[in-house]
Amino acid sequence: MLDASDSFVTEDGRTIGGVVMEMKNITLRFGGVVAIKDISFDIREGEIRAIIGPNGAGKSSMLNVISGFYVPQEGEVLFHGKQRPPMRPYEVARQGIARTFQNIALFEGMSVLDNVMTGRLNNMKAGLFQQAFWKGRAEKEEVANREVVEKIIDFLEIQAIRKTPVSRLPYGLKKRVELARALAAEPKLLLLDEPMAGMNVEEKEDMSRFILDVNDEFGTTIALIEHDMGVVMDLSDRVVVMDYGKKIGDGTPDEVRNNQNVIDAYLGVSHD
Ligand SMILES: Nc1ncnc2c1ncn2[C@@H]1O[C@H](COP(=O)(O)OP(=O)(O)OP(=O)(O)O)[C@@H](O)[C@H]1O
Ligand SMILES: [Mg+2]
């Protein structure tokens, strides 16, 4: 049995660290709907942790609990071993957590560059007062923010479209811009809600490569929801499987693939 602080080496030789986020007996209800039923699992430092399951299983709800957006009625969320109090979005960002959404949430009329810059809003320390009366500090910060943003734009190979309004981009590139905006916050934990939904094979391959590169080069811990089982099996170190709000599997991709409950849940269920 692995301790919270232990690290381990995966089948493909990747070293995964201690537990950074622990969900303990989480239950989340919306009125009469129980979206999450008594689920426990953890996320370890440096891993790519997939959350999978049929439509309506409660995956996005779970990501919203991890991000602090939803506070569960029952259970505990431990972040670096401490119980996490309800937080506002800027507090979540300051804790090093960033996310993308199932439905793209970008400013369509703004350029790619400006959208990615919004990812840094929570990293800015100079308040409005300082921006107005103490220009030096605000300007210095602006330069530093730009440097980070330009680095991310290069990293995700979107230099050629930096001035383009997001509304003019094809879907696959919008998803990449959303990833850029999340990365601009320099998160330690990155949450991706279906980063490849609606993409063609080539776009999925690109996105998979970027996710692996982010994990590898920045050491970012990643939790992602994805329907494409091929992608999940290729990318993730460990997988949590949800069905009707319950956890029905948890383990390495191979373990999950051979789990009878998981196989049953997936039979006859359509996925988009
Ligand atoms: N804000 C909400 N208010 C009421 N019910 C909700 C809300 N969000 C989710 N639900 C319900 O909770 C259940 C789980 O939804 P959730 O969006 O978490 O599933 P999902 O696994 O992400 O599904 P999908 O694969 O379709 O994105 C569903 O029954 C859904 O209708
Ligand atoms: Mg969802």
Domains by residue range for the chain, with CATH: 1-96+187-272 (3.40.50.300), 107-186 (no CATH)
Q: Measured in angstroms, how far is the CA atom of residue 116 from the centroid of ligand 1?
A: 28
Assess contact for 54 and 272: CB atoms under 8 A. Answer: no
Amino acid at 48: I
Residue whose Cα lies nearest atom 12 of ligand 1: it is 35
Strands across the sheet containing 189-193: 97-100, 189-193, 221-225, 48-52, 238-243, 246-251
Q: What angle do CA 231, 148, 136 make, to 5 degrees?
A: 160
pLDDT in tens, 174-187: 999 999 999 999 99
CA 56–ligand 1 middle distance (angstroms): 5
92: confidence class by pLDDT, cuts 50, 70, 90: confident
- From 28, 51, 61, give the residue whose CB has the most ligand 1 atoms within 8 Å, as the site to mutate: 61
Q: Which residue from 37, 39, 51, 60 has its CB within 8 A of the most atoms of ligand 1, so it is best to mutate?
A: 60
- Mean pLDDT score, 85-92: 81
* pLDDT number for residue 142: 82
Tokens read off for 56: 């309506």
Q: How far is the CA of 60 from the centre of ligand 1 (A)?
A: 7
**Whose CA is closest to atom 3 on ligand 1?**
30
Q: Look at ligand 1, atom 13, and give the residue with the nearest C-alpha.
A: 35
pLDDT band at residue 103 under the 50/70/90 scheme:
confident
pLDDT tens across 244-265, in order? 999 999 999 999 999 999 988 8
Using the mean position of ligand 2's atoms as its centre, give its distance from the Cα of residue 136 in Å: 44
**So what's the pLDDT on residue 15?**
87
Is the per-residue pLDDT at 272 higher than 60?
Answer: no
Q: Which residues contact 178 (CB under 8 A, 6 or more apart)?
A: 100, 101, 104, 105, 106
Task: Report DSSP state, residue 111.
Answer: B
Identify the residue whose C-alpha is closest to ligand 1 atom 11.
Answer: 35
- Measured CA to CA, the distance from residue 110 to residue 107 in angstroms comes to 6
pLDDT per position as a tens digit, 49-66: 999 999 999 999 999 999
pLDDT digits (tens, 9 = 90+) for 109-126: 999 999 999 998 776 665
Q: Which residue has the tokens 């929570």?
A: 122
pTM recorded for the entire structure: 0.91
pLDDT at 174: 94
Say how far apart CA 203 and CA 42 lie, in whole Å: 30
Pocket test for ligand 1, best of 59, 70, 103 (most atoms within 8 A of CB): 59
For the cut 60, the answer to whether the pLDDT of residue 128 exceeds it is no
Report the percentage of the chain scoring pLDDT > 70. Answer: 92
Least distant ligand from the CA of 53 = 1
